[in-house]
Structure 1
Amino acid sequence: MSKTFIIGELHPDDRSKIAKPVETLITTVDSNSSWWTNWVIPAISAVVVALMYRIYTAED
C-alpha cells in the first residue's frame, strides 16, 4: 500500500495550503441538573416491571 503514497516531508510553502481541522467546542451539562434521573427513571422502570409481573402471574 505504501507504493501508492509519496512518503516524505512537506515543503514549508505548501504547509499553509493544507486545511486545518475546525476545533469543535465540547459543552458539558451540569451534573447537578440531572441527578434525579439517575434514580427516578430506574425506580419507575422497576415499579412498572413489578406491576406487569404481578398482573401476569395473577391471571394464571
Structure 2
Amino acid sequence: MVHDHDFYHLGPGHHIIRPSQNTPIKGLTLLGGYTMQPFFATMEGAVYSGKIAAELVIYEDH
C-alpha cells in the first residue's frame, strides 16, 4: 500500500519529510538510507547516515 506522505518517496520536494538522525528521545539515534542525508535511498546514503549517527552518539554527552 502506498501513501502520499511515505518518507521514502524519491520525487521532488519529498526530502523535507525524511527524519534526521537526531531524535528528541534520549538514547535513540536513527540511521539508514531513508534519513536526511545527501544520498537518498542508496548504500552510500546508508553509510553516510551511519557516520552522522555515530558522531551524534559519540558527542551526545559532551
Asked if these proteins are the same fold (TM beyond 0.5), I'd say no
Larger Rg: 1
TM (normalized to structure 1)?
Answer: 0.33
The structure with the greater share of residues assigned to helix is 1
